[in-house]
Amino acid sequence: MSIRFENVSFAYKKVKSPFQLHNLNFVLNADEKICIHGKTGAGKTTLFRLLLRDLAPGEGKIFLDDLVLPKEKNLYKKVSFIFQKPEDQFIFPVINDEFEFITEDQDNNNILQNISKLCKLFNVTIENFLDRDLYSVSIGELRLLQIIFALSMQSKYLILDEPTTFLDHENQIQFLTHIKKIKDKGVLILTKHLEIYSSIVERNISLISLQS
């Protein structure tokens, strides 16, 4: 079981942009954690958007468990994402609506138990946020809610784009410790800050080295 990129290339056609990928090949197995790192403009967020199906490869294919990457509904059953900008993660402006949305198609008891455990880990009282809208919550609080919702899902893979940005030091440590303990999911971290994640993953890979 894996996420696999086979000779994937992408370039923005309408604008001259440094955000492009050429002949990208890599595999994320369902039981490993890897960090793909690169400087700003290297194409990390483009890679993220390809996995999200927000962009389509110009060439090559992306596979999820040996099948071509599925449409969004089926994709989200197997893959959870943490967007670089927390506000981009949320579909609804009111947090309670988001909460109800992520639990409606899942094993409700399990996901509620997971949310409860993660709230304790990050010292978050979820009831204090449910009736609030996104714009009344600080960016750090929104990041914590984003992390709690994403990690509570019953997914096989986690795709994380600069996940510790906006977290204070204590919550960064809690997050990294939690990710390090995960054994039954494939975890892909995209970052320009290799030093933050190098000790919690099995492989550190330069995005440039994956291309030919």
Domains of the chain and any CATH numbers? 2-210 (3.40.50.300)
pLDDT, tens digit (0-9, with 9 covering 90-100), for 131-154: 999 999 999 999 999 999 999 988
pLDDT of residue 182 exceeding 80, the answer is: yes
Inter-residue contact 102 to 150 (CB < 8 Å)? no
CA–CA gap between residue 183 and residue 31 (Å, rounded): 6
pLDDT, tens digit (0-9, with 9 covering 90-100), for 75-121: 988 999 999 999 999 999 999 999 998 888 656 778 899 999 999 99
CA–CA gap between residue 163 and residue 189 (Å, rounded): 8
Count the Cβ atoms, other than its own, within 10 Å of residue 158: 22
pLDDT, tens digit (0-9, with 9 covering 90-100), for 18-77: 558 999 999 999 999 999 999 988 899 999 999 999 999 999 999 999 999 987 778 988
Inter-residue contact 48 to 35 (CB < 8 Å)? no
Strand runs (DSSP E) across 162-206, as ranges? Answer: 186-191, 203-206
Q: Which long-range contacts (CB under 8 A, 24 or more apart) does 104-110 make?
A: 105/77, 106/153, 106/154, 107/154, 110/154
pTM of this structure:
0.93
Measured CA distances, 155 to 48, 60, 144, 184 (Å): 17, 25, 18, 10
Count the Cβ atoms, other than its own, within 10 Å of residue 11: 14
Q: Is the dihedral of CA 65, 69, 75, 80 positive or negative?
A: positive
Inter-residue contact 42 to 207 (CB < 8 Å)? yes
